[in-house]
Amino acid sequence: MPPPPKKPETGAATKEENIYIPSFISKRPFYAGEDGDDKDYLKHQRREQKKEESQWYDRGKRAGPAATKYRKGACENCGAMTHKVKDCLSRPRARGAKYTGKDIQADEIVQDVKVGFEAKRDRWNGFDPKEYRKVVEEYNQMEELRKLAQKTAAGDEDADGDKYAEENDMSKHQSTATRQLRIREDTAKYLLNLDTESAKYDPKSRSLVDSGAVKDKAAELFAEEGYMRSSGDAGAFEQAQRYAWETQEKSGDTSQHLQANPTAGEFYRKKEREEAERRRAEKEKQLLEKYGGGDQKAMPAALRNLTVTESETFVEYDEAGLIKGAPRKKAKSKYAEDVLINNHTSVWGSWWSNFKWGYACCHSSIKNSYCTGEEGKQAWEAVEQQRTGFNLVEAKPEEAEEEVPDAEKDQGTSKKRNREEMLNGVSEAELEEYRRKRTAANDPMAKLLGKDELIT
């Protein structure tokens, strides 16, 4: 029979010892510490739970009072010794603490915080819950103000009755523009013309497509109605209504209601027009003082040429933005133009021949040369005739026949080629004759041609 369990001594153990646990489990090994050093007799079997204390940098903490004198090696901007001017987070000063010696900031506390693997990746590490109190307090204050405003609005409604329809909050989804509002006494647009084949009615915008532009009595009525609404007192009434709405939307002032208090609205609108006219007159006066008097004669010539005048002349432009039919103006160059030198009547580059630039007045291709006039042109033409063989064609046939030898007359060939042959090129017969008659330079017997010598 097993012995009864031992009763734990007072303050000796936190848990009652279990006799059914084997000794190899309940007995503490030699490397787990000495017996009696802890109250839990099974501590060696439990996983050690190490709690890491959350450590983080103290935000904005300074080390003691600030220095009264700039120290060598400190930040040139704020005067702290713990960082340089390129790492300074203070506002950049026009003249730093190095030069003024004033408002020197205290040194920051540089902490070496060692955190573990999980603490490094904890996005909430270093978060102070006290900072969220400001958000909660601000929300509570706004909630109290909102409730107070609701109570005040409810009291005003009970005292003054229902507000006008224009002052109700119609939310941001429904616009209060005049194009979506209509007078209830007016006839609906879809009832102006009941013909299904005429103007189309758009139920989404509550208007006729293309304003119901059909040639019938309903279209004339529609056009006349739109004209009457935008002219005369109807236009002034719409401007007054729009002014009252805009004033109420911007400032929240409901005292300028068009139906309830039309006199106030008219007074403020007149006052605003006078103020705008006064500002325009002051601006015009400043411009006249700066740029000249009001008369046209006192205006500078450069500004007078730029003034835009009214004209009924029809002008048509092309795709490039130029006036059609107008003469093209040559673009001006930054270099000097039409500068004539050395008695030339044309500029360099005004003439081109045979891949060379020259002067058109004398056909000279030498830059900065002296002009020779018509004689230079004649000389250039003679050189060209000599180069191209044009003078051979102009020679007389009788003289050409006298120059040809009798032997060549019999053969029907001529040594000299005329201009037409030179332009047409070399024929196959002439090329074949040249190949037969030419002397091969690499022929070893070519040296003995025309000599009466024997080879030994």
For every residue of 175-236, which 3-state class applies, written as one string? CCCHHHCCCCCCCCHHHCCCCCCCCCEECCCCEEHHHHCCCCHHHHHHHHHHHHHCCCHHHH
What kind and span of H or E run contains 107?
Answer: strand 107-108
pLDDT of residue 61: 83
**Cβ atoms < 10 Å from Cβ of 166:** 17
- Please, what is the average pLDDT of the chain? 76
Of 134, 133, 126, which is closest to residue 59 (Cα–Cα)?
A: 126
Q: What's the token pair of residue 139? A: 């929300």
Instruction: Show the 3-state SS of 343-401.
Output: CCCCCCCCEEECCEEECCCCCCCCCCCCCCHHHHHHHHHHHHHHHHCHHHHCCCHHHHH
Closest CA to 78 of 107, 42, 52, 54: 107
- The two tokens of residue 60 are 């904005």
Report helix, strand or coil for 275: helix
What pLDDT shows up at residue 414?
Answer: 52
The residue from 391, 417, 451 where one domain ends is: 391
Q: CA-to-CA distance for 26 and 17, rounded, in angstroms?
A: 9
Q: Which of 332, 327, 330, 367 is nearest to 346 (CA)?
A: 367
pLDDT lower than 70: segments of the chain: 1-15, 33-38, 49-54, 155-182, 189-190, 192-193, 195-201, 207-232, 293-310, 391-415, 439-442, 446-447, 449-450, 453-456
39 occurs within a structural domain: yes
The number of distinct structural domains making up the chain is 2
Task: Say if 203 falls within a structural domain.
Answer: no
Residue 372 resides in a domain: yes
For residue 30, the enclosing domain spans 1-47
Residue 409 lies in a domain: no
- Does the residue 43 lie in any domain? yes
* CA–CA separation, 419 and 403 (whole Å): 17
Q: Which H or E run includes 108? A: strand 107-108
The verdict on residue 3 lying in a domain is yes
> Which amino acid makes up residue 10?
T
Q: pLDDT tens digits, residue range 380-436? A: 998 888 888 776 665 555 554 555 555 555 555 556 777 777 777 788 888 888 887
Q: Report d(CA 413, CA 421) in Å as an integer.
A: 13
262 in helix, strand or coil? Answer: helix
Residue 285 region by backbone torsions, left for phi larger than 0, else alpha for psi between -120 and 50, else beta: alpha
**443 domain-assigned:** no
Please give the pLDDT value at position 135: 93
Query: Does any domain span residue 296?
Result: no
